[in-house]
Amino acid sequence: MSYFYDLSKVEEEIANCMRCGNCQASCPYYRETLSESNVARGRIRLAKAILEGSLPYSPALAERMECMTCYACNAICPCGVKVDKILLAARAALVRQGGAPALKKVMALALKNQRMLDLFVRAAATTKPLFLKKHPLGGHKLRFYAGLNGRRVLPDIAGKNFRDRIQEHITVPGARKTAALFTGCLGNYVYPQTSAAAVDILSKSGFNVVIPRAQHCCGAPLSLNGVVDAAEALARSHADLFFSLAADIIVTICGTCGESFKKKYPELLSGSPSYSHKAKIIAARTCDIAQVACEYTLNGRSRLKELNMDVTYHEPCHLGRGMGVSKEPVQIIQSIPGVNFRPLKEPARCCGNAGSFNITHYGLSLRILKHKLADIESTGAGAVITGCSACRMQLADGMAQEGKKPVIMHTAELLAMSLKA
């Protein structure tokens, strides 16, 4: 049984923390708040108290265990403590004790039911003029308060979902392998151009492409927040779906989705031998589009054409530290003729989005973002490339609020532009 279901599974990780405090230097949450209970060391002490039963559930305690799960503490820890596992196990234990807060219950309900989510997004796309007004720098503002901060600049909702506008199976002449594409929610409803770019790259790299209609949310917003039963249901559904496809590779376009497939599903499904087997096979086949592009597109016969751009790259936490995909996006950028790469000082510093964290801690999320925006500004780049749609939303929101027109695209979109140019 995994740590998601039993906090005692991380007892050894908790004991490995020697309380040196090194994690303070890298934690974006601590760097803003300077509060010990907001850094890995402090949260590990809280997890220990929960495990020992000396600290019972309270909403305040559950809130203390929330953070961006950015892995910066894992990366800097000299003892190799897997802080993320402790945090996830403690959040799940607290939900078992006190139940999930209302927002997370609604999230679980919406994300588990794909048909309901589809209907909701379709209705929102049709009626958006009623509740959204255009922002002069792109994106939209809410016309009235709807549970979200009124300052927020939101991205557009696609008029038609990506998966509804593309055929499920794309056969490419001469292709010997098949790639199954997982678009994720944002790649389906908000940034269909990223999914389209991924299809383009895969088909030009010699893959038949299947984009299964029955896919839905990867479950990360739930597993990261301790709502384990709903996350497990999604993991099971995807294990069945992607196992049955028997594709050579499963391609994700977002580090958080990819990490769910690679790392969370094997943990969530470890209690069932048959699902555990499927989850391990799926994990082994999953890769990010940047990895596929480096292995097949850059080494293949497709010629990259010149683009005239100055760009920088923001590394998403779950793609870089989570999936270990760090050098590939930079390699892609540097391979495109005419693209001038202007690196950030801290490319892997968290942008502060972290999914629902950005909803529940919006002010703090923007404070964390400010450092990233200043770093971007100092490069003088005209466009930001990234590999995560949630980071993209966050960067676009922050830039628009600072009066700058956001030019942000996914690495796959940049590469697809060069393939097409």
Stretch that binds ligand SF4, among 75-83, 177-185, 282-290, 394-402 (CB under 6 A): 75-83
Nearest-5° Cα angle at 401, 395 to 404: 75
List 68, 269, 279, 287, residue binding ligand SF4 (CB under 6 A):
68
Taking the least distance from each CB to ligand SF4, the nearer of 236 and 318 is: 318
DSSP letter, residue 190: T
Taking the least distance from each CB to ligand SF4, the nearer of 25 and 119 is: 25
Under rule CB under 6 A, residue 77 binds ligand SF4: yes
Under rule CB under 6 A, residue 25 binds ligand SF4: no
In the complex, what is the shortest distance from the CB of residue 86 to ligand SF4, in angstroms, rounded to a whole number? 9
Under rule CB under 6 A, residue 319 binds ligand SF4: no
Q: What is each CA distance from 331 to 98, 235, 291, 336, 411, in whole angstroms?
A: 46, 32, 10, 9, 10
* Residue from 155, 415, 375, 167 nearest 288 by CA: 415
In the complex, what is the shortest distance from the CB of residue 201 to ligand SF4, in angstroms, rounded to a whole number? 31
Supply φ then ψ for residue 269, to 5 degrees: -105, 15
- Coil, helix or strand at residue 208: strand
Structural contact between residues 120 and 81, judged by C-beta atoms closer than 8 angstroms: no
Cα-Cα-Cα-Cα dihedral of 277, 281, 286, 292, to 10°? 180
In the complex, what is the shortest distance from the CB of residue 19 to ligand SF4, in angstroms, rounded to a whole number? 5
Stretch that binds ligand SF4, among 76-84, 192-200, 275-283, 334-342 (CB under 6 A): 76-84
List 62, 67, 344, 369, residue binding ligand SF4 (CB under 6 A):
67
Stretch that binds ligand SF4, among 19-27, 92-100, 380-388, 403-411 (CB under 6 A): 19-27
List 5, 10, 14, 41, residue binding ligand SF4 (CB under 6 A):
41
Structural contact between residues 154 and 400, judged by C-beta atoms closer than 8 angstroms: no
Which strand ranges, in their side-by-side order, compose the sheet holding 207-210?
Answer: 169-170, 207-210, 177-182, 249-252, 286-288
Structural contact between residues 286 and 257, judged by C-beta atoms closer than 8 angstroms: no
List 5, 7, 28, 182, residue binding ligand SF4 (CB under 6 A):
28
Q: Within its chain, how far is the Cα of 273 from the centroid? A: 28
List 14, 72, 217, 282, residue binding ligand SF4 (CB under 6 A):
72
In the complex, what is the shortest distance from the CB of residue 349 to ligand SF4, in angstroms, rounded to a whole number? 10
Structural contact between residues 7 and 93, judged by C-beta atoms closer than 8 angstroms: yes
DSSP letter, residue 174: T
Tokens of 275: 């699902």
* Cβ neighbour number for residue 236 with a 10 Å cutoff: 18
Under rule CB under 6 A, residue 270 binds ligand SF4: no
Output the DSSP codes for 296-350: IITTSSPPPPP--EEEEEEPPHIIIIIT---HHHHHHHHHSTTEEE---SSTTS-
Stretch that binds ligand SF4, among 35-43, 51-59, 242-250, 335-343 (CB under 6 A): 35-43
Stretch that binds ligand SF4, among 65-73, 120-128, 171-179, 328-336 (CB under 6 A): 65-73
Stretch that binds ligand SF4, among 63-71, 134-142, 188-196, 408-416 (CB under 6 A): 63-71
- Can you tell me the distance from the alpha carbon of 329 to that of 318, in angstroms, rounded to the nearest whole number? 14
- Can you tell me the distance from the alpha carbon of 191 to that of 156, in angstroms, rounded to the nearest whole number? 9
Stretch that binds ligand SF4, among 27-35, 50-58, 179-187, 261-269 (CB under 6 A): 27-35
- Coil, helix or strand at residue 383: strand
Under rule CB under 6 A, residue 23 binds ligand SF4: yes
List 17, 251, 289, 395, residue binding ligand SF4 (CB under 6 A):
17
Residue type, 251: V
Supply φ then ψ for residue 152, to 5 degrees: -60, 135
In the complex, what is the shortest distance from the CB of residue 97 to ligand SF4, in angstroms, rounded to a whole number? 21
Under rule CB under 6 A, residue 70 binds ligand SF4: yes
In the complex, what is the shortest distance from the CB of residue 383 to ligand SF4, in angstroms, rounded to a whole number? 27
Q: Give 6: exposed, middle or buried? Use CB within 10 Å, 0-12, 13-18, 19+.
A: middle
Under rule CB under 6 A, residue 22 binds ligand SF4: yes
Q: In residues, how long is the chain?
A: 421
List 19, 134, 143, 370, residue binding ligand SF4 (CB under 6 A):
19
Under rule CB under 6 A, residue 89 binds ligand SF4: no
Stretch that binds ligand SF4, among 2-10, 20-28, 146-154, 394-402 (CB under 6 A): 20-28
In the complex, what is the shortest distance from the CB of residue 226 to ligand SF4, in angstroms, rounded to a whole number? 14
Under rule CB under 6 A, residue 40 binds ligand SF4: yes
Residues near ligand SF4 (CB under 6 A): 17-23, 26-29, 39-41, 43-44, 67-73, 77, 79, 81, 83
